[in-house]
Amino acid sequence: MNSLGTYDYVVFLVYFLIVALYGWTVYRKKQAQKENSKDFFLAKDSLTWWAIGASLIASNISAEQFIGMSGSGFSMGLAIASYEWLAAATLIIVAVFFIPVYIKNKIYTMPQFLGQRYNSTVAMIMAIFWLLLYVVVNLTSILYLGALAINSISGINITACMYVLSVFAVIITLGGMKVIGYTDVIQVFFLILGGLATTYLALELVATHFGTTGVVNGLALIKEKATDHFHMIFHKENAHYMDLPGLSVLIGGMWIVNLNYWGCNQYITQRALGADLKTARSGLLFAAFLKLLMPIIVVLPGIAAYVLYKEGYGDFHKTMLKDGSLNADSAYPVLLNLLPAGLKGLSFAALTAAIVASLAGKANSIATIFTLDVYKKIINKEADENRQVIIGRITVIVAMVLAIIIAPQLGIDKKGGFQFIQEYTGFVSPGIFAMFLLGFFWKRTTSNAALFATIGGFILSVFFKVLPTFTNLQWLNAYGFSKLAPQKDGTMLYEIPFIDRMGFVFMICVIAMFIISKMENRNGINPKGLEVDRSMFKTTQTFAVGALIVCGIIVALYTVFW
C-alpha cells in the first residue's frame, strides 16, 4: 500500500522535530560568536571527528543508493557493493595522502587548489564547470530521485515532495556547515537505524516464506536461493560485465571513480578541510567503517527482494513492473510498503534523512564555490565576511529553485539515477583526477598540462564512447576490454566497459601531462608546486591500526565472496 499511516507520520514527525531542534540549538550557539565566511562554509575548527565522518556518509548516501543500489542488488547481486567497500579503502588513501596536502597548503575549495597550483584560468574553468555539474546534474538528480522514492512509498505528489525536501534542506543549509555537520549525525543515526529495520524485515520475510524464522536463517536462505548473486568479481560471460568488468573493479578504473569522488570533490572534502589533520583523518577513518556497513543496508534488501520475486511472494510480480517490464529499482520501495505501521515511518525517515542531508551538503558546496571562487574573485573583490555569508545564503536558495525547475525536464527517472550521474561525471573524472594527482605529487606539472587533462580528457572520453560505432573492437574482447552490448537501435556492437574507458583516458592524460610538462619546463621545478614533504604522510598508531582493520575486513569480504 503506497501510503503512510498515523503511526508512520508520528515517527516521521519525531524525526523532523529532533533534527530541527538540534539544528536550531547548534545555530543559536554559533550565533553567539561572530560568524565569518570560513565558519559558514567550512565550520572552521568546529566539527569533531565523529561529526565529520557522519557528515561524509550522510552527504554521500541518498536516493540513488537506497533505490538504485538496492535495484542493482536485485539484478546483479553483491558485486555492486564494490562501490561501497572500495570507497572505504579509498577513504584511507585520501586521509593519508590527500588531506595533508590540502590542510598544509590551506586549501579550502577545489578551484582554490587549482589556482594555487596551476593558474587562475584553470581554476575559473573548473569552478564554472563544477557549479554547472553540481546544479544541473547532482542537485537535480538527488532532488528528483528523492521525490520519486518518497512518492512511491507515501503516495504524496512528486512536485509536493520536491518542495518539501527543498525547504527542509534549505533550512539546514542556511545555518552553515556547522549546522549541517552536526545535524548529519542525527541524519546518519536515522539512516542506519531505518535501513537496518528494512534489511531485518526483508530477511525475516524470506525466512518466513520458507517456513522458518530469524535473520540468520533468512541470510542463509538468500545465499542458497540466489547463489549467483553472491559473487564480487564477474566473468566476461556475465550479463552485467559491462557495469562491473571483472578485475578492473579491483585494479582498474574503479579506483579512479572513487579517488576522484572522495579526494577531488568539493562536496565531500569540504567536511574535512576546516579541521586539523588529526581530526580530519579520524573523521575519514570513521566514515570508512560506516562505509563497510552500507551494503547491509542498501544491497542485501535488493537481493532478498529478488528471492521473494523469484518465489512469487505476494504482489511482488505486479508491483515491480513498470510499463509492462521488470523495474529493479522498485525493489526497495516495495519492501518498505510491506513494513508494519511505525516501522515504515522509521524507514521513511531514514530515506528522507539521506536525501535531505545530500541536498544540504551539495547546496553548501555550490554556495562555497560560487562565493569564494567566483563572486569574491570576479564580481566583488572587496566583499567583507558578512557580505560573503549573505551571498552564500542567497546562492543556496537560487540553486535549489533552479533544481526544482530543471529536474522534471531531464528525464532522470528514465535513465536511472546512478546511470544519469555517471553519464555526465564520468566523461571528466579521469582528466580531473590526473590533474589533481600530478598537481599533488609532481612539482614540474605545468598549467598547460592541466588544461589538456581538463579539456583533452573530456574529448578522449567522448571518443572512446563513440569508437564502437565506426570501428570493430572485437579484438579487445580477447583481453577482456570489450563485450557485445545492445544499442538503442537494436544492433549489437563490441563496447568498452565504462570503468575500463575511464582507466584508458586516465592513463593517456597522465602520459600526455608528463610529456607536455617535460617540454615546457626543461629547467627544473615549477615554482607553482605545493608544499609537500614526507613527514606530512605519517599517521598516528591509532589511525594505522584502524586503517589495517578496515583493509583486513575488505580483503576478507572479497576472499569469501570472490
DSSP letters, 8-64, are HHHHHHHHHHHHHHHHHHHHHHHHTS---HHHHHH-TTT--HHHHHHHHHHHH-SHI
Per-residue pLDDT for 120 more than 90? no
User: Which one-letter DSSP state was computed for residue 81?
Assistant: G
495 membership: H or E segment, kind and range:
strand 492-495
d(C-alpha 361, C-alpha 139), whole Å:
10
**pLDDT for 383-425, tens place per residue?**
787 888 888 888 888 988 988 888 777 665 554 445 556 666 7
**pLDDT for 236-261, tens place per residue?**
777 777 778 878 888 878 888 889 88
**pLDDT for 457-499, tens place per residue?**
889 988 888 777 777 777 677 666 767 666 666 666 777 788 8
d(C-alpha 542, C-alpha 78), whole Å:
31
102: left (phi over 0), alpha (psi -120 to 50) or beta: alpha
Instruction: Please report the sign of the dihedral spanned by the C-alpha atoms of residue 236, residue 297, residue 555, residue 545.
Output: positive
* CATH code, 193: 1.20.1730.10
Domain membership of residue 146 as a residue range: 6-30+46-205+266-421
**Residue 244 counted as domain residue:** no
Q: How far is CA 170 from CA 55, 77, 370, in A?
A: 16, 36, 17
SS3 label, residue 187? helix
Residue 527: its pLDDT value, please? Answer: 60
Task: Give the strand pairing for 483-486 and 325-326.
Answer: unpaired
Burial class (CB in 10 A: 0-12, 13-18, 19+), 548: exposed
SS3 label, residue 485? strand
Q: Which amino acid is at 492?
A: M
Domain count, the chain: 1
**Residue 308 counted as domain residue:** yes
Q: Where are the alpha helices (DSSP H) in 226-319?
A: 248-251, 254-263, 266-273, 277-298, 300-310, 316-319
**Cβ atoms within 10 Å of 96's Cβ, excluding its own:** 19
d(C-alpha 87, C-alpha 551), whole Å:
11
Cell of 373: 571562487
Angle at 89 between CA 364 and CA 136, to 5 degrees: 30
Closest listed residue to residue 74, CA positions, set 204, 222, 189, 260: 222
d(C-alpha 94, C-alpha 89), whole Å:
9
**Residue 331 counted as domain residue:** yes
Closest listed residue to residue 560, CA positions, set 230, 291, 241, 221: 230
Number of H helices, E strands in the chain: 29, 4
Range scoring the smallest mean pLDDT among 103-117, 199-213, 462-476:
462-476
Range scoring the smallest mean pLDDT among 57-66, 134-143, 546-555:
57-66
Instruction: Please report the sign of the dihedral spanned by the C-alpha atoms of residue 91, residue 517, residue 503, residue 136.
Output: positive
**pLDDT for 419-447, tens place per residue?**
556 666 777 888 889 998 898 888 888 88
Residue 507: its pLDDT value, please? Answer: 93
d(C-alpha 69, C-alpha 199), whole Å:
14
Closest listed residue to residue 389, CA positions, set 182, 174, 180, 135: 174
The dihedrals phi and psi of 483, each to the nearest 5 degrees, come to -155, 150
d(C-alpha 151, C-alpha 164), whole Å:
12
Residue 324: its pLDDT value, please? Answer: 59
**Residue 41 counted as domain residue:** no
**Residue 505 counted as domain residue:** no
Range scoring the smallest mean pLDDT among 89-103, 292-306, 487-501:
487-501
**Stated pTM of the model:** 0.84
SS3 label, residue 484? strand
Cell of 437: 594527482
SS3 label, residue 483? strand
**Residue 379 counted as domain residue:** yes
Secondary structure (DSSP) of 310-332: HTT-TTHHHHTEETTEE-GGGHH
**Residue 409 counted as domain residue:** yes
**Residue 283 counted as domain residue:** yes
**pLDDT for 523-546, tens place per residue?**
665 666 677 777 888 889 999 999
**Quick one: average pLDDT of 332-340?**
77
Residues whose CB falls within 8 Å of the CB of residue 27, separated by 6 or more in sequence, listed in order = 175, 176, 179
Residues whose CB falls within 8 Å of the CB of residue 561, separated by 6 or more in sequence, listed in order = 78, 230, 231, 232
Q: What residues pair up with 494 in beta bridges, in sequence order?
A: 484
Secondary structure (DSSP) of 342-405: THHHHHHHHHHHHHHHHHHHHHHHHHHHIIIIIIIIII-TT--HHHHHHHHHHHHHHHHHHHHH
For the chain, the straight-line distance linking the first and the last C-alpha, in angstroms and rounded, comes to 38
- The chain-wide mean pLDDT, for the chain, equals 80
**Quick one: average pLDDT of 220-234?**
88
